[in-house]
Amino acid sequence: MRRFILTAAALAACAALPVHAAPGDRTERLLGELANAPGAPGFEEPVRAIVVRELAPLAQKISYDGLGSVIAQHGSKGPRIMLDAHMDEVGGMVRRVTPQGFLTMQMLGGWLDQALVGQRWTIIGAKGPVTAVTTIRDVHVTPQDERTRVTPRTAIYLDVGAKSAADVAALGIGPGDQVVPDAPFAALANGRLLGKAWDDRVGLAVVIEALRRLASDGHPNQLFIAATTQEETGLRGAHTAADVIKPDIGIAIEGGVAGDQPGLNPDETQAVLGGGPGIFLFDSSAQPNAKLAALVASTAAAIKVPLQKDLVQGYGDDSAEIQKSNGGVPTVNLVVPARYTHAHNGIIDRADFDRTVDLVVALIKRLDAATVAELRDFTPSRR
């Protein structure tokens, strides 16, 4: 009888576990597919395949720069508008293998050391993906005065279950192989979406859905969708893609930094989930063109989309490279707010995503030749 009671309790507990339903509409399925795809800087091919699959039926031309950025063109007349989102995510690369079969990792992109320990990762090797976990010191043997200290990345290893370096080689992995977080997409309550790499897979989904609508509705310009590479390690793909496109206007779409979790300093970021798309009025890499930022605000007001204005330190985005191209380009960085970026698990709000698409579509429709000429005119006014 006791065994039956325990079994029934176990069954009841299992029934109470959360069940993640299959992703909902087409857009949610795309968001999930993009978030789950591996693509550390320099290893963007799985993401590139999804992007090209989605953009090719909509664009009039697909091309690539020399670093692997995707450039999809729609329209052959009017000003050249570069709508940008990057394909890569923060990740890592295997550095070396120890004789005992552990691996050290070169981080790619900006990671906090406290986000690294005790996490699952996927290493993409010659024989396919291998699951790994980062080492963490056992609490039972950690002295009390060390339990609150952050373990530096130089003391963290990847454990794939190997007993020796030969075991690691047999798995088909070694120095130079890509490492990405193992953190599957899931739909949460209240339209919130959980996944890795919202920086910047959410931006990729925005530009894809924007082109889907603009290809149908029409627009007054030459639109170039740029899905760029290696943003997290120096904004490299934006530089080379802008060299190819030679834009008149640049619009970067990013995952923003939500500041609505407990314990944050309100001066760090002002955005909240569910508050609508954001515009960066300052970050560490770029300042937007003031007239273009004003046009974004007036466009948002005209279509009744709430717009969150934010200023963020310690942040860089592709607009910084775009604005330095082609003799100087008016640019702006628009964001979908996200919690916990540059970590395994981030959260976005679906309503923010949808409103960002609405804003981008409306903005691009307003960027006709006369408007772009006025944005690019710096002649002092006479009063």
If asked whether residues 322 and 263 sit together in one domain, one would say: yes
Residues in the chain: 383
pLDDT for 268 equals 84
Domain encompassing residue 135: 91-181
CA distances from 355 to 24, 211, 332 (A): 18, 15, 17
| Residue 129 within any structural domain of the chain | yes
Residue 141's contacts (CB-CB under 8 Å, 6 or more residues apart) are: none
Task: Give yes or no: residues 284 and 137 share one domain.
Answer: no
Distance CA 31, CA 223 (A): 22
Q: Is residue 16 part of a domain?
A: no
Domain identity same for 46 and 108: no
d(CA 253, CA 54): 17
Nearest Cα neighbor of 156 from 191, 119, 185 is: 119
Question: Which neighbouring-strand residues pair with 122?
Answer: 131, 180
pLDDT of residue 381: 82
Q: Are 112 and 215 in a shared domain?
A: no
Whether residue 244 is found in the same domain as residue 131: no
| 130 located within any domain | yes
Domain CATH number, residue 130: 2.40.30.40
Q: Are residues 171 and 248 in the same domain?
A: no
Burial class from Cβ neighbours inside 10 Å (0-12, 13-18, 19+) for residue 19 reads exposed
- Averages of pLDDT over runs of 10 residues in the chain (383 residues) are 37 40 81 98 98 98 98 97 98 98 97 96 98 94 90 95 98 98 98 98 98 97 98 97 98 96 85 97 93 98 97 91 97 98 98 98 98 97 72
Query: Tell me, what's the pLDDT at 65?
Result: 98
| Domain annotation covers residue 189 | no
User: pTM score, two decimals?
Assistant: 0.93
Those residues with Cβ within 8 angstroms of residue 252's Cβ, 6 or more apart along the chain or in another chain: 84, 85, 203, 238, 317, 318, 319, 322, 331, 332, 333, 334
In this structure, the answer to whether residues 147 and 125 fall within a common structural domain is yes
CATH number of the domain encompassing residue 344: 3.40.630.10
Instruction: Give domain status of residue 4, yes or no.
Output: no
Total number of domains in the chain: 2
Task: Examine the domain organization and report whether 167 and 134 are in the same domain.
Answer: yes
- Looking at residue 23, its pLDDT comes to 57
How does 121-134 read in b/e, with b if 16+ C-beta sit within 10 Å? Answer: bbbbbeeebbebbb
The answer to whether residue 231 is catalytic is yes
pLDDT computed for residue 269 by the predictor = 87
Question: Kind and range of the H or E element at 7?
Answer: helix 2-16
73 and 212 both lie in a single domain: yes
pLDDT of residue 5: 37
Marked catalytic residue, from 33, 44, 231, 232: 231
Calculate Rg over the CA atoms of the chain. Answer: 23
> 305 and 205 in one domain?
yes
**Residue 8 belongs to some domain of the structure:** no
**112 vs 131: CA distance, rounded Å:** 21
How is residue 151 annotated by DSSP? P
- 7 in a structural domain: no
Q: Are residues 56 and 98 in the same domain?
A: no
Q: 65 and 127, same structural domain?
A: no
Q: What DSSP element (H or E) covers 168?
A: helix 165-170
Instruction: Give me the pLDDT at residue 7, please.
Output: 38
Q: Which residues fall within 8 angstroms of residue 67, CB to CB, at 6 or more apart?
A: 229, 230, 236, 237, 240, 241
